[in-house]
Every structure is written in C-alpha cells, then in structure tokens.
C-alpha cells in the first residue's frame, strides 16, 4: 500500500451536518423534516434562477466560458471593483485552498481564531502548514490584539470569519481599523464573509472597505447562503489585481460549472429575492432570540443567518429529542461549545414549530 504524507495521518474529515436522507434512514422518519443545521436558505433559490437553469440544461455538453468574464463583471459591478479583482471558486472553500496553493509552503504558519470555520485548519493540515490558534475573547469575538501579539516572521496569512462561525458575532469598524493599522503588509489577511449579507448593524464594516486601506487582503463571499445556491457550489474572492492574478494561476480551468455560472448571474439580478431572504432572516433571528431568551437560555447576538444558543446541561437531551422529532440543529462540540446548539433561521412556520416542540420538551 502507498504511504500517505506524514502530516495527513491525523487529519479528520470535515464533519458536515446530517442530511435529510441520513436522518430519515437513521430514525425512520416519514414526515416532514425541518432542517435548521446547515445555514441554508429556507426560501431556496430565486424562481428566476430555476427558470434560467431549465433554459440552459440542453447546453451542459459545452464547457463554460473559460475566463468567466461575464460573471466576474457582474460581481465586480455589485462591489464597484474591477473584474480582474474577482476570483471564482467551486464554493468559497476552493478560494481558501487557492491561498494555500499560491502563498503557503510547508513550515509556514497561519493564524486562526479558536474556534472558527474548521476548513482553515483542514487545509493547513493538508498542505503541511502550521497553525497558530488565538482564543476568542471572553465575549467570544476575534481577539485582534491577541492576533497582533501572536505575529512572527513565519506567519504568512490570517484567516478570520466575519460574522464568526459558529457564534454569529462581529467586530466594529473602529476595532477593525485599529487592527489594520498594526498589521504589516507582508501578511495576507483573509476575511471570510460567508454570512455578510445578513449584517444589519451599521457599525459593522463590510470587508470591501478594507481593500481601500490594505492591498494584502482577500475578501471571501459565497452564493451558498443568501442566494440559496449551496448545492451548485459557487463562491468568489475579491482582492487587489496582483493577488487575484496570483490566485488565478493556481485555479484549475473550468473549476466552476456552467449551470453555477448561469445561476450566479441570475441570482445577482434578482434583488427582490435577495431582499426577501434577508428580511425573512432578520425577522426570524429577532423572533427566535427573543423567545429563547425568555425561556432562560443564553442567545448570542448574531449578525448571521443563524444563532448560537447555550442550553446548558440540557443541550444534548434537547438535541436528541428534536432530532427524533425530525428537527435538525447543529451540535457544537467540535467547536468547543459542548452545551451549545447552532440554529439556522428557517421559515416563520419552521421557527414556530421549533419553539412549539421546545415548549413540549421543556414543559413550559
């Protein structure tokens, strides 16, 4: 048998949330399942996207546009940048991997918060890159001052998810700008805004602002969450032309499939569906936060399409009981929060079913 690389021996695959099929088979559930464990868009994709996909199904024997210029141009227009500043990926995960391919070698180090999105750590293990973890603050936010103190000549990149996953917490513009002033240009700052569309706090900046202050920055965005295209795997990064050009060098040709391109273009045009998604999410976020707080649980203030709730010693029992009832939430033991569950904001009726079942389980 061939021997794998040494640094892969301890690597554990990313633990995804349970799928509908897995739950139905495991628990013999035949009724409707409410899936609130993977931060997906409960409205689904725009109806205009579905129509556009049907129109182009007969063309899937053709390769997509090699340069992806049309989609890059649409994204660039959305953010008032140049198309040459946009890099497309098979999900934003692939753009994260581009960073490792283009800028990081064995022996280099990256900084991540502990905990944060697990794929930063997974890619580091795959590419033999060392990880320096900086614990979150007592408020469970990125410790930007701690990150500055942790810098060394070996640090080549910093990965920060904002809003943070799984807490949903964010940092103020003032905190970010102070951090940027103390960060040298030879370190690539990667700001992962997978949930950026759901930020409604005016004091929380969007990553695009940072590109005006810092050339060595990469902003990540995805079509998986607010646009409802998780199954098609489409994400992108925005950076300086120099960084974007470097990342393009390690991108495989035709890495984004033709239908994903069509879906992305159409989704960007349908502002009404995006607005509907955001409004529904913000209303549901407020509703669940208020009710669960009244129940006596700690709900962390989220700027994402999910909330993190501390259920205390009842956490595992609540999770298991809801699972048997066909309501899927995300346990957070892997993130270091054994008494917490992450709840995706669902449709109003799904949120109400969740609350109704919690009342029964807790006998409230």
Which helix (H) or strand (E) covers residue 155, if one does? strand 155-161
Q: What are phi and psi of 167, to 5 degrees?
A: -80, -30
* CATH number of the domain where residue 331 is located: 3.90.1150.10
pLDDT band at 27 (very low <50, low <70, confident <90, very high): low
Q: What are phi and psi of 147, to 5 degrees?
A: -65, -40
Q: What are phi and psi of 145, to 5 degrees?
A: -70, -40
Residue 178 has pLDDT above 80, yes or no: yes
Domain end marker among 217, 245, 269: 269
Domain end marker among 252, 269, 286: 269
Residue 24 has pLDDT above 80, yes or no: no
SS3 (DSSP) at 341: strand
Domain that holds residue 291: 17-44+272-362
With b for 16 or more beta-carbon neighbours within 10 A and e for fewer, the 209-248 pattern comes to ebbeebebbbbbbbbbbbbbbbebbbbbbbbbeebbebbe
241/318 same-domain check = no
Domain end marker among 208, 234, 269: 269
Across the range 206-224, mean pLDDT stands at 93
| pLDDT tens digits, one per residue of 271-280 | 999 999 999 9
What is the pTM for the complete model shown?
0.93
**210 compared with 24, residue with greater pLDDT:** 210
174/322 same-domain check = no
| pLDDT tens digits, one per residue of 263-318 | 999 999 999 999 999 999 999 999 999 999 999 999 999 999 999 999 999 999 99
99/229 same-domain check = yes
For the chain, percent of residues with pLDDT exceeding 70 = 95
Least confident range of 20-34, 53-67, 107-121, 261-275:
20-34
| pLDDT tens digits, one per residue of 336-356 | 999 999 999 999 999 999 999
Rounded to the nearest 5 degrees, what angle is found at the Cα of 187, between the Cα atoms of 111 and 193? 65
């Amino acid at each position: 048998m061939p021997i794998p690389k040494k640094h892969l021996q301890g690597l554990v695959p990313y633990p995804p949330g349970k799928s509908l099929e897995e739950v139905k088979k495991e628990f013999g559930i035949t009724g409707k399942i409410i899936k609130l464990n993977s931060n997906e868009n409960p409205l689904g994709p725009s109806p205009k996207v579905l129509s556009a996909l049907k129109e182009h199904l007969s063309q899937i024997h053709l390769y997509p546009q090699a340069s992806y210029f049309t989609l890059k141009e649409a994204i660039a227009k959305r953010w008032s940048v140049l198309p040459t500043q946009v890099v497309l990926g098979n999900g934003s995960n692939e753009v994260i991997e581009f960073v490792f391919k283009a800028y990081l070698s064995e022996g280099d180090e990256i900084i991540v918060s502990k905990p944060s999105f697990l794929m930063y750590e997974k890619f580091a293990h795959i590419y033999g890159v060392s990880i320096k973890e900086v614990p979150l603050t007592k408020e469970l936010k990125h410790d930007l001052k701690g990150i500055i103190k942790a810098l060394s000549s070996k640090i080549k990149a910093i990965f920060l998810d904002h809003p943070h996953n799984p807490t949903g917490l964010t940092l103020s513009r003032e905190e970010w700008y102070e951090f940027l002033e103390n960060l040298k240009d030879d370190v690539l700052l990667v700001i992962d805004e997978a949930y950026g569309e759901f930020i409604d706090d005016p004091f929380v900046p969007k990553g695009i602002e940072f590109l005006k202050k810092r050339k060595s920055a990469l902003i990540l965005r995805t079509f998986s969450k607010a646009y409802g295209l998780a199954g098609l795997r489409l994400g992108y990064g925005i950076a300086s032309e120099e960084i974007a050009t470097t990342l393009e060098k390690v991108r495989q040709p035709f890495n984004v499939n033709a239908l994903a391109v069509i879906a992305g273009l159409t989704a960007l045009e349908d502002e009404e569906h995006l607005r509907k998604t955001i409004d529904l999410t913000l209303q549901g976020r407020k509703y669940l936060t208020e009710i669960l707080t009244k129940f006596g649980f700690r709900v962390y203030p989220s700027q994402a399409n999910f909330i993190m709730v501390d259920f205390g010693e009842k956490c595992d029992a609540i999770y298991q009981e809801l699972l048997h009832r066909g309501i899927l939430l995300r346990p957070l033991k892997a993130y270091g929060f054994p008494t917490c569950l992450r709840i995706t904001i669902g449709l109003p009726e799904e949120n109400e079913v969740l609350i109704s079942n919690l009342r029964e389980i807790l006998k409230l």
